[in-house]
Amino acid sequence: MKMSKRLESLQPYLFVEIGRRIAEKKARGEEVISFGIGDPDIPTPPHIIERLCQAAQDPANHRYPESAGLPELRKTIAEWYKKRFGVSLDADKEVLPLVGSKEGVAHIAWCFIDPGDIALVPDPAYPVFSVGTMLAGGTPYYMPLVADNDFLPNLDTIPAHILEKAKLLWINYPNNPTGAVADIDFFNRVVKFAQQHDLAVCHDAPYSEVAFDGYQPVSFLQAEGAKEVGIEFHSLSKSYNMTGWRIGMAVGNAEMIDALRRVKSNLDSGIPQAIQYAAIEALTGPQDCIQEHNAVYQRRRDLVVDMLNSIGLEAKPPKASLYVWAKVPQGYTSVEFTNDLLEKIGVVVTPGTGYGSSGEGYIRVSLTIPDAGLVKGLSRLAGWRSTKRIAW
């Protein structure tokens, strides 16, 4: 068989490789504690599941869904944006439900990127921004996210010849993997920059509802003129523990939404309708679950940050997201340290370089681990430190 060059250019998806190594260890009878993937461990709230089961019984929901999503879902999303962010959206032109936000994040490249085009992609970042670009034949230009600039891209350092070929600008706050957040001033600057350089902005915001200490993330669409230059990707995955149901949305600029709808209508046949009804329930039903989940993550965040700092891994408590971004001990690369933790104490974290070369020197620790595992994992980490000290 002759596979495409495009396929050959793909690295194995980070979590597939980590999953393979965990499976190997488990097959040897070893217990592995994973702080790897950001997949909420708390179940989907019962009222959402009930609505899903009810909708699954209705034969009307057994047939092909519309790829543009149920009109009632689009309306619900528009109303949620108004209530949560004060942003007005036209439910028919500016809202598009997705089969999980990953799907839209990957497919938007097909709307903008031709071979030779450039997408501006943060580094480190959720890998799908660059993978989507490469699958469409384009090239990512990486914008380093560094601690000195609060993990925001320094747009002024992007060379003019890159900007000439760039069509898309990716940003993501609250950020995966760094846990950084952005304020409205940053988003206002992004809008101006996009206008100056004729860029379409894609802001990926699946963690906007996962926030701590009373902090409330803002939407990119709250920035002045944002809807003229960009869209925001959103997801029910992390807000309502619905990663398994696969539902998200893109909202904002009508031309971009229409382009994405055109690509999608040729590729997928929509989101199972029972899941769309569950999403309506999630967005309109009781919202206490969000605060309850955040309280759990906040407690875990504090335990993780304290432990990491106590063993010499510098980490700051993030204001939002499901991740702690910590510095590896001196003398290790991210991958060496990650491997060491897995081999010696059976603890999985992800290497910063899995998200891009600027992630070197860091690991990402996910907070989506049940408390019992968390406590065990943290005590193993404490043990690792004392072993290593002797070796130093």
Residues of this chain that interact with ligand PLP (CB under 6 A) are: 38, 100-102, 105, 126, 172, 176, 204, 206, 235, 237, 243, 248
The answer to whether the beta carbons of residues 268 and 120 sit under 8 Å apart is: no
CA distance linking residue 213 with residue 258, whole number of Å: 38
Nearer of residues 61 and 176 to ligand PLP, judged by Cβ? 176
Q: How far is the CB of 289 from ligand PLP (least distance, A)?
A: 17
CA distance linking residue 165 with residue 163, whole number of Å: 5
Q: Is 241 left (phi over 0), alpha (psi -120 to 50) or beta?
A: left
Q: In whole angstroms, how large is the CA radius of gyration of the chain?
A: 21
Nearer of residues 170 and 345 to ligand PLP, judged by Cβ? 170
Helix H segments across 28-120? Answer: 46-56, 71-85, 101-112
Q: How far is the CB of 349 from ligand PLP (least distance, A)?
A: 15
Nearer of residues 206 and 346 to ligand PLP, judged by Cβ? 206
Nearer of residues 105 and 311 to ligand PLP, judged by Cβ? 105
3-state secondary structure of 139: strand
Q: How far is the CB of 183 from ligand PLP (least distance, A)?
A: 18
Nearer of residues 44 and 345 to ligand PLP, judged by Cβ? 44
Q: How far is the CB of 286 from ligand PLP (least distance, A)?
A: 22
The pair phi, psi for residue 355, each rounded to 5°, is -110, 5
Say which residue the tokens 């993550």 belong to: 297
Nearer of residues 239 and 307 to ligand PLP, judged by Cβ? 239
The answer to whether the beta carbons of residues 301 and 324 sit under 8 Å apart is: yes
The answer to whether the beta carbons of residues 25 and 343 sit under 8 Å apart is: no
Q: How far is the CB of 57 from ligand PLP (least distance, A)?
A: 26
Nearer of residues 61 and 175 to ligand PLP, judged by Cβ? 175
Residue 199 has which token pair? 């860029």
Q: How far is the CB of 391 from ligand PLP (least distance, A)?
A: 35
Among the listed residues 183, 177, 184, the one whose alpha carbon sits nearest the alpha carbon of residue 207: 177
CA distance linking residue 56 with residue 54, whole number of Å: 5
CA distance linking residue 389 with residue 139, whole number of Å: 43
Q: How far is the CB of 136 from ligand PLP (least distance, A)?
A: 18
